[in-house]
Amino acid sequence: MKAVAFAYARATSVVNALELLAAHGDKAKVLSGGQSLMPAMNLRLLSPDILIDIGGLAELRGIAVRGDVLVVGALTRHVDLLGSPEIALHAPLLRDAVAHVAHPAIRNRGTIGGSLAHADPASELPACVLALDATIVVRGPAGERRIAATEFFKGIYETALSPDELLVAVEVPVAGQGTAFFFQEYARRHGDYAIVGLAACAVVAASSFSDLRLGFFAVGDRPVLAAAAGKLINASVTPALLAEATAALADELDPQEDQQATAAMRRHLAAALLRRCAAALLARPELEKGATR
């Protein structure tokens, strides 16, 4: 478990990083927190010719509110999301999600940009940015591109990012009046990748949803913004309607089978999460048990 020898460059600026990416293309890998990249290299699953370390780029760090947008720098570490008052106030979903990401040692190094660019379909933050309707900001030789989170994830470890582009920030709309969040995942152990997880963002008014965005993860090759949510928006949520929504969800999802769960179990757990989410956000515990039991 020793990585193949590789060259290493520590970028001095975003511009410099982009130059290095332009020079090396897909032979290069960007090193951010390194929590997924380094194990993959040590297992020789990846053997880039060169690592471009962006760890020194202060311009990619930090969390700021600009108008009604919360801007999170790509190098913001998980531990910073956990402790940030801005995140707690404007996007507490990220804080709640990050508490489930691995363990403190990993959260101390892992970054939001790294997690999104890595695009592991079982990881928490990609689903969160879907639910939050966030925008991914990338920079490349041609300048800046802003990609809707819904357009960003393309498959397992695949994103809309080109090899010569760098993910620089995430923009999250500031939570408005009546916005509520729900985050839960089922994992065998604390810190494991989820078997199924849900990051949800809702606007609750008069005991119903005027908006509901359900970001499921570990249910396919990328995070899924579930269309089934539409059934619950601007409707009186009864157990029967919720059952209709969970049935629609089961149809919509196409989860994989792996060592932790069959596809059927993933559908079952996703439905349980949806019920728990609705029950929690509407403060109606009786919804949790479903209509049929």
7 binds other proteins per the rule CB under 8 A:
no
Amino acid at 261: A
Task: Indicate which single residue of 7, 23, 43, 65 sits in contact with other proteins (rule: CB under 8 A).
Answer: 43
Looking at the Cβ atoms of 5 and 58, the one nearer to other proteins is 5
Pairing of strands 196-205, 153-155: unpaired
The one among 44, 148, 178, 251 contacting other proteins by CB under 8 A: 44
To the nearest whole angstrom, how small is the minimum distance from the Cβ of residue 267 to other proteins?
Answer: 8
Q: Which is nearer to other proteins, 265 or 291 (CB)?
A: 265
CB burial of 203-242 (b: ≥16 within 10 Å; e: otherwise) equals bbeeebbebbbbbbbbbbbbbbbbebbebbeeeebebebb
- The tokens for 157 are 């470890």
CA 19/CA 164 separation, integer angstroms? 9
Which region among 16-24, 144-152, 174-182, 260-268 touches other proteins (by CB under 8 A)? 260-268
CB of 251 to other proteins, least distance (A): 16
Provide the 10 A C-beta neighbour count for residue 52: 24
User: One symbol per residue from 167 to 206: x for binding other proteins (CB under 8 A), - otherwise; what is it?
Assistant: -------------------x-xxxxxx-x-----------
Positions in the binding site for other proteins (CB under 8 A): 1-5, 43-44, 186, 188-193, 195, 259-262, 264-265, 268-269, 272, 289
